[in-house]
Amino acid sequence: MKVILANDGLAQSGIDLLKSEGFDILTTRVAQEQLANFINKNQITGLLVRSATEVDKKTINACPGLKLIGRGGAGMDNIDVKHAESKGIHVINTPEASSESVAELVFGHLFNGVRFLHDSNRNMPLDGDSMFKQMKKSYAGGIELRGKTLGIIGFGKIGQATAKMALALGMRVIFTDHHVTKTTVEIPFHDGRSVKFELQAMDLDVVLKQSDFVSLHVPAQEKYLIGKKELAKMKHGAGIINTSRGGVLDEVALVDALDSGHLSFAGLDVYESEPKPEIKILMNPKISLSPHIGASTIEAQERIGVELAQQVIKLLK
């Protein structure tokens, strides 16, 4: 019997599917320093992880019986993919399964930002009973998303899912991507009808200059993709959302842009110093915050579980 370790958990739908095909599934959470020993001791064939577990070169070398490494989600920066593949190990992920969930979180942060909900939710419990009229006035200058321009940096599955939601809200969408130059985005509605939009890629500078809001959807970078120079090119009063990876956006430059009033707000789900975000980020009243939960919906986890299970069965059975 082939044994699979889902070290960061796996939806019951995925567990059931694997068991039905004769796999033995372990969901024990093994500490990083004990991972290789546990894999070898229990003759683990496949290792499934999310973002919490690192599968580096040292771990891969220490586990000669490992045949497959699976990542629940799109990002693969916690796995040494090239080294694993050089050892003949299958490396899989689920790039589409969490797209809708991340895109919805982007709009959660956008709605927070344009209506100051992140800040009013902090202050209403403290002063709502004594300063209601003053707070009503201070939070009264919100704006609508309809008719505004959303610039998307990185137009893979998540970027395109974000574009669909923006278009459905009546926003203009522009994007930049190293690989996608032109694409058709189709928006499905509940009654079976759909609408298609033709979109053409633009240069990064154009996207930054024309967008009312910018949303980042790129893999981990060796250096900042958006730093002081790029933030300065954005419209005065614009907002920026990062649900991709910490280190893509220069947080020091971001705080400066917010404090100076050049940017009106930011929404962050990921952080440079994750899992301990900087206090200047956590306490800034212009930043909407969430703890890296882009893919953490029940529906997304079910899709991820099934998709991982299907790939494991195809490759290992």
Tens digits of residue pLDDT in 106-151: 999 999 999 999 999 999 999 999 999 999 999 999 999 999 999 9
Instruction: Say how far apart CA 33 and CA 46 lie, in whole Å.
Output: 18
Query: What are the start and end residues of each CATH 3.40.50.720 domain in the chain?
Result: 3-95+298-316, 99-289
Q: Which residues of the chain have pLDDT under 50?
A: none
| Check whether domain 99-289 has CATH 3.40.50.720, yes or no | yes
Instruction: Say how far apart CA 112 and CA 267 lie, in whole Å.
Output: 8
pLDDT for the residue numbered 46: 97
Instruction: Say how far apart CA 155 and CA 278 lie, in whole Å.
Output: 29
pLDDT for the residue numbered 57: 95
Active site residues: 245, 274, 292
Give the global pTM.
Answer: 0.89
Name residue, tokens 């956008």.
Answer: 110
pLDDT for the residue numbered 73: 85
pLDDT for the residue numbered 96: 86
pLDDT for the residue numbered 74: 80
Alpha carbon 19 to chain centroid, angstroms: 29
What is the CATH number assigned to the segment(s) 3-95+298-316? 3.40.50.720
